[in-house]
Amino acid sequence: MDLGLRTRHAIVLGASQGLGLGVARSLLGEGASVTLVARSMERLATARASLAEDEQARCDLVAADLGEPDAVEDILRAAQREGRVVDILVNNSGGPPTGLPSGVSIDEMRGQFDKMVQPIMTLTLALLPGMRARRWGRIITITSSGVIQPIPHLPISNALRSSLVAFMKTLAGEVAADGVTVNVMAPGRIGTARTQSIDSAQAKRTGRSEDEIARESASSIPAGRYGTIEEFGAVAAFLASVPASYVTGSVIRVDGGAIRSI
Ligand SMILES: NC(=O)c1ccc[n+]([C@@H]2O[C@H](COP(=O)([O-])OP(=O)(O)OC[C@H]3O[C@@H](n4cnc5c(N)ncnc54)[C@H](OP(=O)(O)O)[C@@H]3O)[C@@H](O)[C@H]2O)c1
């Protein structure tokens, strides 16, 4: 199937590793050009070096911390340089700390809102008028399985990402007739540095080994394993594609069957 992405430009947030890198690679593999965003230019450069030569030529790197006030402006300036338009926005962020809901600090919650929600909404709203005017756009927001089945020890993630789901669903209804689709992805457990750090935190909490925690976690997933960033990226590339024009307002699970509800 031709995904029709060869003339499209995408911004992918949190793209130097993990899920964002998986998505960026899939889009580049389909011929799109991509602006990769993360805080560390060194990690971004390593990510770019892992790509094929023609893909490297189609990707720009922007070092920006989503928690800083100028980040959105810096990202837009780089992505829209020389009049280039942005057709696809893949929203993503770093994950918040783990802990019990009873121990959540409201200051921490506010700080995480400023990194995980505010910049995503600002960037989305900034790019929307152009997408609507051109009658084509794709907004994809990476959240978590926790927005469907809240994850113990991730109260901030569960709460803040749910607010993004509600916002994106509301937005999807407003812009569907303008050729702009708005979808949310809900990863279960995809093997990345973040999953590893969560397993490691659980290992510390319970006094067990990280390997044991990872094995137990994998065996609780119907697929029997963690997903790969390639599997995740492939779903994102389809959502970004021309043939996905009638998929909007959805929460797409990429979880190997981990979420138990329908
Ligand atoms: N992997 C999973 O199975 C899974 C499941 C559910 C939810 N999630 C969530 O999905 C998101 C991505 O997960 P992941 O596993 O890919 O995480 P990851 O491996 O930790 O990657 C996070 C990416 O975001 C960038 N980043 C972090 N903080 C940033 C900031 N303040 N500003 C700009 N970029 C920032 C990182 O690069 P720099 O450090 O250089 O900035 C990196 O490129 C996380 O929020 C995670 O909690 C993941």
Token pair of 165, please?
């789901």
Task: Say which amino acid occupies 78.
Answer: A
CA of 14 to the centre of ligand 1 (A): 6
CATH code of the region 9-190+227-253: 3.40.50.720
Q: At 98, phi and psi to the nearest 5?
A: -90, 165
Residues in contact with ligand 1 (CB, 6 Å cut-off): 14-20, 38-40, 43, 65-67, 92-95, 115, 142, 144, 187, 189-190, 192-195
* Buried-state track 221-238, b at ≥16 Cβ within 10 A, e below 16: beeeebbebebbbbbbbb
Q: Where are the alpha helices (DSSP H) in 80-209?
A: 106-116, 118-134, 155-175, 193-206
Tens of pLDDT, residue by residue over 203-250, are: 999 999 999 999 999 999 999 999 999 999 999 999 999 999 999 999
Tens of pLDDT, residue by residue over 136-179, are: 999 999 999 999 999 999 999 999 999 999 999 999 999 999 99
What pLDDT score does 227 carry?
A: 98
CA of 187 to the centre of ligand 1 (A): 12
Token pair of 87, please?
């057709």
Angle value at C-alpha 191, between 185 and 194, nearest 5 degrees: 80
Reported as type and span, the H/E element at residue 24 is helix 18-29
Tens of pLDDT, residue by residue over 41-55, are: 999 999 999 999 999
Reported as type and span, the H/E element at residue 38 is strand 33-38
CA of 30 to the centre of ligand 1 (A): 23
Q: At 254, phi and psi to the nearest 5?
A: -130, 85
Q: Could you tell me the residue ranges of all domains in the chain?
A: 9-190+227-253
Relative to the CA of 20, which ligand 1 atom is closest?
Answer: 16
Relative to the CA of 19, which ligand 1 atom is closest?
Answer: 16
Cα(236)–Cα(83) distance, rounded to whole angstroms? 26
Task: Say which amino acid occupies 224.
Answer: G
Nearest-CA residue for atom 41 of ligand 1 = 39
CA of 135 to the centre of ligand 1 (A): 30
CA of 7 to the centre of ligand 1 (A): 27
Cα(8)–Cα(3) distance, rounded to whole angstroms? 11
Nearest-CA residue for atom 36 of ligand 1 = 14
